[in-house]
Amino acid sequence: MLVNTGDDFEHLGLHISPDLDTVMYTLAGIANPATGWGVVGETWNFMDQIDRLGGPTWFRLGDRDLATHAVRTERLKRGETLSAVTADLCRALGIRATVLPMTDDRLRTIVHSEEKRLAFQDYFVRMKCAVPVTKLSFDGEASARYNPALDQLNVKEPLAIIICPSNPYLSIDPILALPGLRDWIARSGAVVIAVSPIIGGAAVRGPAAKIMRELGLEPSAAAVGLHYGSLIDGFVVDDIDAAGTTEIAASGRPVLSTQTLMRDASDRIKLASDCLAFVQDLLRQRS
């Protein structure tokens, strides 16, 4: 699993990797389902004391969650890679999937709002996405290398790449911005599919639809499919968007419509199975 680190940042002396954390906590079964971030059953005594000391409280750090940041920060300071730290955190949390930061280098998503350049967390958390996005860019994109583990994958079966229904602009594009990453995908010969995060014109969670409107795009599954363009071999949309994506299917990229809204574990398993079956279909069509 290749995870965006474009929204990593330093805060209160800690290196925080919000997307890696959410993926790890989710896979470990300790994610907080109410918030979509952080650890379930969290306590907030650190934050209360930060408030008392006059420190910044706009980014909420729970007492348990802090342990992840502290371990990561210390080990990065010692010169270890984010990949190595992540692998050990996953092991400690009993996660069997391979979680790879997209890069061990620094690539930071910058949100442009008219003339303002905002660090990602300033936009996303501090300002609660309340300013219009006019452009996105990625600091460090010229020099960041994609995770070298990608070149060491020892895959015997044809590779399938599933672009999850994350925010295409904030969470997927930083990964695709890494030099050579698109070439790696092409070289890999993988079947690439994407799942639309837009269902019936709205994002299930987060500002994807708002950002699309601000960028002059209609917030629709079809627009997401067009955004990924020739990168993908197939596209997965919700049943209610099937009619709106005939154009994509007509352009030679098959569209699977199914239930993409995941409310519980069984929905998640069902969608994953549908995606894998879709990949098998696409592979059969290739040969």
Residue 171 burial (CB count, 10 A): 21
Q: Does 45 bind its own copies (CB under 8 A)?
A: yes
Residue range at the interface with its own copies (CB under 8 A); choices 86-94, 204-212, 237-245, 261-269: 86-94
Q: Does 66 bind its own copies (CB under 8 A)?
A: yes
Q: Which tokens sit at 91?
A: 């092991």
Q: Does 13 bind its own copies (CB under 8 A)?
A: yes
Q: Does 84 bind its own copies (CB under 8 A)?
A: no
Query: Considering only residues 59, 87, 88, 158, which one is a binding residue for its own copies as defined by CB under 8 A?
Result: 88
Residue range at the interface with its own copies (CB under 8 A); choices 74-82, 102-110, 176-184, 234-242: 74-82
Q: Distances in Å between the alpha carbon of 151 and those of 74, 79, 141, 175, 183? A: 27, 22, 19, 15, 12
Contacts of 156 (CB under 8 A, 6+ apart): none
Q: Does 12 bind its own copies (CB under 8 A)?
A: yes
Q: Does 27 bind its own copies (CB under 8 A)?
A: no
Give how far the C-alpha of residue 217 lies from the chain's centroid of Cα atoms, to the nearest Å: 21
Query: Considering only residues 82, 89, 95, 194, which one is a binding residue for its own copies as defined by CB under 8 A?
Result: 89
User: Which DSSP letter does residue 131 get?
Assistant: S
Q: Does 26 bind its own copies (CB under 8 A)?
A: no
Residue range at the interface with its own copies (CB under 8 A); choices 69-77, 209-217, 229-237, 254-262: 69-77
Contacts of 179 (CB under 8 A, 6+ apart): 141, 142, 144, 145, 146
Hey, CA dihedral for 74, 75, 77, 81, is it positive or negative?
A: negative
Q: Does 74 bind its own copies (CB under 8 A)?
A: yes
Compare residues 67 and 202 and give the one whose CB is closer to its own copies: 67
Q: Does 63 bind its own copies (CB under 8 A)?
A: yes
Q: What is the C-alpha to C-alpha distance for residues 63 and 59, in angstroms, rounded to an integer?
A: 13
